[in-house]
Structure 1
Amino acid sequence: MKSFFRTCLPVALWFAVGFATAQETPQTQLQRITLSVGIHQIDTQVALTPEQHQIGLMYRTEMPQGEGMLFVFQNPSQQCFWMKNTVLPLTAAFVADDGSIVNLEDMKPQTTDSHCSLKPVRYVLEMNQGWFTKKGIKPGMKLAGRPFSK
């Protein structure tokens, strides 16, 4: 029995550590930038690649207030988001190239309902649901910071 544990325990631990690392990797390797809207600062993770876009905030059980995720796309187009495998209630801000918020969409967790931009955009900022409302942030207001400061 001892030899079983000596052999299997290290393998099981290696596998568990590898699995935990694999679970964390896409989210922990994201670049971070600071955005602002009015007097409010947002600590933002940036999703640049199609793989990062697909994972987004899936499977996360919490996100601190004042943090968000900015999705950056190559070209402006109508962007549509859904919440499959996302347990956090989020609001998506669809953002024009100049940082102007085009529209805000509250999204219900764990659904495949589409929430789309009203016009072509290259940026989508996801925040905890209610954050924009609590801060008085509405369509037409502008985000500042990279990539909007040119």
Structure 2
Amino acid sequence: MERSTAVVGGVIALLVVGALVVWSGVWLQFVDPGSYERTTVTVVDEDGTELGAVDARIADTWQQRLVGLSRTESLAADEGMVFVHDRQERHGYVMRAMSFPLDIVFVAENGTITRIHHAPTPADGASESDLREYSGEGKYVLEVNRGWTNETGVRVGDRVQIPGETTDPAGTGDESGPDRQTASTPSCDAGPTGAPSPTNATVTALDEACTPLGTVSVAIADNDSERITGLSDTDSLAWDEGMLFVFPETGEHAFVMREMSFPLDIVYVAPNGTVTRIHHAPVPDSEYERRYPGTAKYVLEVNRGWTNETGVSVGDQLRLPNVTAS
């Protein structure tokens, strides 16, 4: 594996072997991460098309993983850090001592992205107990500027190529399924709730701690005619507006941006309210219609960037109106 050496401090705090390791900020300042090597990390979609690449510092010792980017004031648009763990398992990260927000991308041993978090900087004066944990399954974790995955269209199920590291670019390993969280059981009051809803209602996103991340007022498309038309006859959405597509049953669906005049986040949702997939769809620039597929009973469409700004990611849950589709 070819790497160039850079003497630079780095990043975020780490979790090891599936359990959050609590380190005090006082103790952290005495950790010497040593020199970081560098490599180019590239992300490709399911067709092998390159979506983006970053010049990444490599954090492959416990000292480097612990310090992370916490001693870095900012990243260039094409910079990041890749954390290399000894094995694939559940890890958790916190934004301890961070001065800028991040996208935190969990990557399986075979290179498949399994989860993406959009992490804001901690509030001023936040204590250790106030720090939110961003967890996921993987052997690698890529940290980049918050918004990078949204701007490049990177999503769960895409492939990360790390020279000399990721082992299965063809995606034959057991982490290859982009909708693998469909069967998860919600821990919050999520999914359809309340009495049958009228034509317009609200959808609230909740993280794994059941903390509300954002709410949108939605128009409901619950029949074939409304689902086909979608937002194609809408000029724009307010930031807190969207459309909820409701299907009679869970199945494979695919959306296209036909006749759309503004970009969207397309959020696939299981019957229990769990977010299973998120696409960041631009306005089409040609006659070619890219399909944005997923397995779901519900699909939420909002302004592109809404999931990034609110921190909504795969595995979070939506509190939905109680609607029966036809």
**Shorter-chain TM-score category?**
0.7 to 0.9
Q: Which runs of 4+ in 1 moved over 6 A?
A: 21-24
Among 41, 50, 53, the alignment partner of 1:35 is 41
Q: Share of identical aligned residues, percent?
A: 24
Match of 1:148 in 2: 166
Match of 1:52 in 2: 64
Among 101, 105, 121, the alignment partner of 2:113 is 101
Partners of 1:92 and 1:41 in 2: CA distance? 15
The one-letter code of the counterpart of 2:150 is T
Is the counterpart of residue 113 in structure 1 residue 119 in structure 2?
no
Partners of 2:42 and 2:9 in 1: CA distance? 29
Q: Which has the larger radius of gyration?
A: 2
Deviation (angstroms), 1:23: 6.7
Q: What secondary structure does 2:141 align onto? A: strand
Partners of 2:86 and 2:39 in 1: CA distance? 18
* Residues 135/27 of structure 1: CA separation in 2 closer, same or farther (3 Å cut): farther
Partners of 2:9 and 2:83 in 1: CA distance? 20
Q: TM-score, normalized by length of structure 1? A: 0.77
Partners of 1:101 and 1:22 in 2: CA distance? 26
How many residues align structurally? 128
The one-letter code of the counterpart of 1:48 is D
The one-letter code of the counterpart of 1:115 is Y
The one-letter code of the counterpart of 2:83 is F
Runs of at least 5 residues in structure 2 that lack an aligned partner in the other structure: 1-6, 11-31, 45-49, 169-326
Deviation (angstroms), 1:121: 1.2
The one-letter code of the counterpart of 2:109 is D
Deviation (angstroms), 1:22: 9.8
The one-letter code of the counterpart of 2:58 is V
Runs of at least 5 residues in structure 1 that lack an aligned partner in the other structure: 1-20
* Residues 73/66 of structure 1: CA separation in 2 closer, same or farther (3 Å cut): same
Partners of 2:160 and 2:8 in 1: CA distance? 33
Match of 1:6 in 2: none
Match of 1:64 in 2: 76
Deviations 1:90-131 (A, max 9, x none): 0100000111100100112136110000xx311100000000
* Residues 102/61 of structure 1: CA separation in 2 closer, same or farther (3 Å cut): same
Deviation (angstroms), 1:145: 3.0
Partners of 2:150 and 2:34 in 1: CA distance? 28
Partners of 1:36 and 1:22 in 2: CA distance? 21
Select the structure that is richer in strand: 2
Q: TM-score, normalized by length of structure 2? A: 0.37
Match of 1:128 in 2: 145
RMSD (CA atoms): 2.4
Partners of 1:106 and 1:74 in 2: CA distance? 24
The one-letter code of the counterpart of 1:36 is T
Partners of 1:68 and 1:22 in 2: CA distance? 12
* Residues 23/63 of structure 1: CA separation in 2 closer, same or farther (3 Å cut): closer
* Residues 86/141 of structure 1: CA separation in 2 closer, same or farther (3 Å cut): same
Match of 2:156 in 1: 139
Q: Does the 8 Å CA contact 2:88/2:139 hold for their aligned counterparts?
A: yes
Higher relative contact order (CA 8 A, sep 6+): 1
Partners of 1:109 and 1:93 in 2: CA distance? 16
